[in-house]
């Protein structure tokens, strides 16, 4: 593929999603402060995405301290921010073409843990070009995080972004690995280093507020049918939140859909030793001479 092909409608929509996302991410971080509501911040960001002409690619993730991913406020969540480490993970799509970004807001007083994935991401982006092996990108990430005295989260990875699909190959590891692939011009990937002062592994918790469609099938319960109609029409195969469903007894409807193997949940992922996790993520398009960061802040 030549760079001329990177001007097609698909890539322009990736870029527009990234432009919206960068603006929303930067504005959302300013709203994170001690005492602010998780639900208010998440809904403000999601509404701002729509106001700017995009749609959320997944519910805004607000992960606190030992949480790494898949945490989002519930329908009536009254949680507020404290003196904590907060990871914001936000996505935007334009007609199913995605951008994905994340940033840590540190209210816990651990600046070096916040800086480690930021510097690791910068180092990773400098290596990206056609032909680079994904294991080499992981080695750059691991080297920087190790240099700070922390561990990369090894069982979380960056990933490709597909059409209406948040996670597709290739995986972008956060450590040096022998397996993997070489990147090609036109690949759209999210690179997301995670750092921790713990063991470097995450486990699934019990909480689920984010779900995704597995397959369509008939269901007998009226609320479940209404929920499925909304899911297939509005979200397709992208993740959605319980609080997004405009049906009575949404939680019960989702339980029925899950029991029928229509949807699956995304359990909150948390550091196995209960220690702090930080994160930084950008989406890039691989070009002939490097990469284009679609989620870069606009000065």
CATH number at residue 8: 3.90.230.10
Secondary element (H or E) of residue 224: helix 222-230
Q: Is residue 118 part of a domain?
A: yes
Positive/negative CA dihedral, 3, 5, 7, 9: negative
Please pick, among 112, 167, 214, 264, the residue that the annotation labels catalytic.
167
- pLDDT of 299 reads 66
Q: Is residue 237 part of a domain?
A: no
| Residue whose C-alpha is closest to residue 3's, from 287, 285, 284, 294 | 287
**Active-site residue flag, 115:** no
- pLDDT of 220 reads 85
Q: Is residue 126 part of a domain?
A: yes
For the annotated binding site for a divalent metal cation, the residues are 89, 100, 159, 192, 281
**Active-site residue flag, 14:** no
Question: What domain count does the chain have?
Answer: 1
Q: Is residue 22 part of a domain?
A: yes
**What's the Cα-to-Cα distance from 33 to each of 15, 72, 112, 116, 266, rounded to whole Å?**
30, 17, 19, 22, 26
Please pick, among 192, 197, 208, 292, the residue that the annotation labels catalytic.
192
Check whether the bond before 32 is cis (ω within 30° of 0): no
**Active-site residue flag, 89:** yes
**Active-site residue flag, 214:** no
Q: Is residue 29 part of a domain?
A: yes
Parts of the chain with a pLDDT under 50: none
Q: Is residue 247 part of a domain?
A: no
Cα–Cα distance, 117 to 125 (Å, whole number): 12
- pLDDT of 95 reads 97
**Active-site residue flag, 133:** no
Q: Is residue 255 part of a domain?
A: no
- pLDDT of 142 reads 98
Q: Is residue 180 part of a domain?
A: yes
Over the stretch 148-158, which tens digit does the pLDDT of each residue have?
Answer: 999 999 999 99
In which domain, by residue range, is 285 found? 3-204+269-293
**Active-site residue flag, 100:** yes
For the annotated binding site for substrate, the residues are 70, 167
């Amino acid at each position: 593929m030549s760079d001329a092909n990177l001007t097609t409608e698909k890539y322009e929509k990736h870029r527009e999603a990234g432009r919206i996302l960068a603006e929303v991410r930067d504005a959302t971080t300013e709203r994170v402060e001690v005492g602010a509501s998780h639900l208010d911040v998440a809904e403000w960001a999601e509404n701002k995405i729509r106001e700017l002409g995009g749609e959320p690619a997944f519910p805004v993730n607000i992960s606190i301290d030992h949480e790494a991913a898949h945490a989002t406020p519930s329908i009536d969540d009254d949680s507020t921010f404290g003196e904590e480490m907060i990871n914001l993970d936000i996505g935007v799509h334009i007609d199913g073409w995605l951008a994905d970004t994340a940033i840590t807001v540190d209210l816990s007083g651990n600046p070096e843990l916040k800086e480690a994935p930021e510097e690791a991401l910068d180092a990773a982006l400098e290596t990206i070009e056609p032909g680079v092996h994904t294991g080499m990108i992981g080695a750059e990430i691991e080297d920087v995080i190790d240099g700070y005295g922390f561990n990369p989260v090894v069982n979380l990875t960056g990933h490709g972004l597909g059409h209406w699909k948040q996670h597709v190959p290739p995986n972008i590891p956060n450590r040096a690995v022998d397996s993997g692939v070489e990147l090609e011009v036109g690949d759209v990937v999210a690179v997301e280093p995670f750092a921790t002062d713990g063991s470097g592994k995450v486990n699934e918790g019990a909480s689920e507020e984010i779900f995704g469609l597995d397959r369509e099938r008939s269901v007998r319960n009226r609320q479940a049918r209404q929920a499925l109609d909304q899911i297939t029409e509005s979200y397709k195969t992208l993740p959605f939140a319980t609080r997004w469903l405009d049906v009575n007894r949404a939680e019960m409807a989702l339980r029925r859909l899950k029991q029928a193997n229509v949807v699956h949940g995304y359990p909150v992922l948390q550091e196995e030793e209960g220690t702090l996790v930080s994160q930084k993520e950008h989406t890039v398009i691989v070009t002939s001479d490097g990469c284009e960061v679609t989620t870069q802040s606009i000065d």
